[in-house]
Structure 1
């Protein structure tokens, strides 16, 4: 048994359903229901039209079955929708299930009003991208009608079946190779939005989840990556174009706490479309390789060993405490293992740097050789020890016969390395915060501590 009292607040849908033949059905989902969820996070219920015709307020009941077979449903009802639901995923799935000019009624949960301010707009925008007509039904309803003909292209959730096509698009746009192993490493806990056109994928915007410390509290953010449009559709960059709609759909699905590392041109493009606002800039720090620092020693750390994981956890705790007023990605042993030990394309080394006098751990440094340079991908250390750990990296570079060691940092934190006297270079990379959602939480993603390991491409 299930309650559908909100159906009576949607008279156009109720009237349309009442006019359907007696053997027609609708598909109904209820966020408050307790049955096993579909991949889109909602319960799939099959409701007979005759039962709906008997619906009477208040709190009238109708019997439901859990079958998903049978005829194609004529309409859909979604109720108690919160701002954690994905309009893109749910509406694209409904578009595949419903007939042409099928009806979709949305009832938005009042409890979601304190979340993302534009969450209602996101449902309407997702519907219009699919070509649906939209009628708002105050105070909390939206009535949609699927189009007579499918849209020329539309945003959708990426699936495993899309991996080869996304890899082809990546090669066409960036010239590199996105293997299935690399794709799964990036997106195992995340996802992406693709733009589909006639069986072809013409655009993509990916999202990699990242646990972050924001002013001392642990939160969840996403990094927008692999934002790409097929060269044939790059000229369609208006407000209704492929780039805009795909990126907007990704932010609406995975935001509002999102960040990325666009170059200046892509940053300016994102600003023109209302997606980004600048939060900081990236600078490159470079040191000459030197081998005359005898006050510290280093050894390789095996992040999978319990003893070494304890060392890494202690170093991370000290770093997090020093940066508790800022924003930084979590660098605990689990993340170090995922980011560096399990990377499918690169071999990284995690070193623990110790004082030769006391034997105490000063911090961790993660490195990888690139040509004649030692790239420092990450530091995990108390801030007071950063110059010493940087000098240890210089020593590692010299011991391998390399010319220099390099890293990235947020411009606002570059001064922390001043005692080690780095050369500072501008790599033309901006750190944006996402402002598309107009969510107060977006302002929290300012004041980043960053390193090359925070990106997906270094």
Structure 2
């Protein structure tokens, strides 16, 4: 989410730097005031949600601000993500909540406060030995500014997979020898799934207990349910789906937020799909939605199970700081789900 609004005069007292302790309330006030002016559906963010996102992320935090007379008037920030690229650890940064408060914006003809806050952010955090890719899902105005001044490039448009959750055509039941158990807390089973899942992908976020605990279990306002596929009566997990009833792009939906199932284990995948479809139907959700890159084998399998590809208004953009991570490579190798973005 990014925002750039309102023209304003130059401020010779403006200071651009990393966020300092004690400025959190001013930053949050700037965020809430700015986004309320451009999004009629916007709900003010609480300090608890802000602290969850920016202070408890196991990968750290990245925030630059512009401060005028003790008040935050602009921000450029990211949620850092621990990544594996061909098995090697590194970091990406998801650009979120970047904004310029009304009164401090400049148009495209000359860089304004939004751009002037972003440039030192990239210098500080971007690099082959730092965050090798910065990415986001910008609003159109932020995309125009980003590609003009900040070297944003297009990776791909996002398409969801969607199925009528109240369809009379049932999904195939999972194999009788498998069961799906529910929990909302992480445990050792996460690590037992994560280790064998890693080699199947060349580019993906680290999906270990620290990540799942922060991203899902500890979220201050959203409730996520973990569905774990395992042998009936056993304890060894074979696959994981993360489920949430919520909205995407303004539409009510049952959402498969995350999916960690080896591509060869179609039995575990079908068991989890049947479980998610059952929850969606019981909750009277109008649709069941998932998100994968188009090349991912699970995308094809979901379509075989009656899901249809649906375009969205979102497009994924990035700036790379390592030659190996160009836009074509990211498009062809980056594994993601809904949970890799700040939308659901």
Tell whether the structures are fold-level matches, with TM greater than 0.5: yes
**SS of 2:44 mapped into structure 1:** coil
Give how far 1:207 is off.
Answer: 2.0
2: CA distance between counterparts of 1:264 and 1:382? Answer: 36
Task: Determine if contact 1:281/1:410 at 8 Å carries over to the other structure.
Answer: no
User: Residue 379 of structure 1 is aligned with which of 251, 254, 259?
Assistant: 259
TM-score, normalised relative to structure 1 = 0.60
Q: Deviations over 1:349-392 (max 9, x none)?
A: 11112466999644111111127521121111112346523343
Distance 1:264 1:407 in 2: 24
1:242 matched residue in structure 2: 113
Counterpart residue number, 1:168:
29
Question: What aligned pairs does 1:242-281 form with structure 2 within 5 A after superposition?
Answer: 242-256=113-127, 257=132, 258-281=134-157
Distance 1:350-1:207 versus aligned 2 partners, 3 A rule: same
Matched, 1:336 2:212: yes
Flag the structure with more relative contact order, 1 or 2, with Cα contacts below 8 A and sequence separation at least 6. 2
Corresponding residue SS for 1:335: helix
User: Residue 455 in 1 paired to residue 341 in 2?
Assistant: yes
Give the Cα separation in 2 of the matches to 1:344 and 1:223: 20
Aligned to 2:291, what secondary structure does the other structure show? Answer: strand
For the pair shown, the structure with the greater C-alpha radius of gyration is 1
Which residue of 1 is the match for residue 284 of structure 2?
Answer: 401
The count of residues paired between Structure 1 and Structure 2 equals 301
- Cα displacement (A) at 1:198: 2.7
Equivalent position SS for 1:398: helix
Take 1:449 and 1:399, find their aligned partners in 2: how far apart are those partners? Answer: 30
Look up the SS of the partner of 2:219 in the other structure: coil
Among 151, 161, 174, the residue aligned to 1:295:
174
CA–CA distance in 2 between the matches of 1:237 and 1:164?
A: 30
Q: Is it true that 1:214 corresponds to 2:90 in the alignment?
A: no
**Conserved in 2, the CA contact under 8 Å of 1:238 and 1:244?**
no
Aligned to 2:313: 428
For residues 359 and 200 of structure 1, the distance between their equivalents in structure 2, rounded to whole angstroms, comes to 53
Give the match for residue 39 of structure 1: none
CA RMSD of aligned residues (A): 2.7
Q: Cα deviation per residue 1:397-436 (whole Å; 9 max; x = unaligned)?
A: 123332321122334434453322312222222222214x
Q: Is 1:185 aligned with 2:185?
A: no
Whether the 8 Å contact between 2:115 and 2:150 is mirrored in structure 1 is no
Does the 8 Å CA contact 2:171/2:305 hold for their aligned counterparts?
no
| Alignment CA distance shift 1:318-1:282 (3 Å) | farther
Cα 1:180/1:441, change in 2 over 3 Å: farther
Deviation at residue 225 of structure 1 after TM alignment? 1.0
- Is contact 1:316-1:381 (8 Å) kept? no
Using the size of structure 2 for normalisation, the TM-score is 0.78
State whether residues 186 and 456 of structure 1, in contact with CA within 8 Å, keep that contact through their aligned partners in structure 2.
no
After superposition, the C-alpha distances for 1:278-319 in whole angstroms (9 at most, x for unaligned) are: 223321211122655432532113534xxxx23222222232
Decide whether the 8 Å contact of 2:159 with 2:312 is kept in 1. yes
Map 1:8-157 onto structure 2 (within 5 A). 151-157=12-18
Is the CA contact (8 Å cut-off) linking 2:143 and 2:152 kept in structure 1?
yes
Structure 1 residue 193 displacement after superposition? 0.6
Tell me if 1:230 matches 2:101.
yes
Look up the SS of the partner of 2:22 in the other structure. Answer: helix
Q: Secondary structure at the match of 2:223?
A: coil
The gaps in structure 1 that reach 5 residues or longer are: 1-149
CA separation of 1:230 and 1:302: change in aligned 2, threshold 3 A: closer
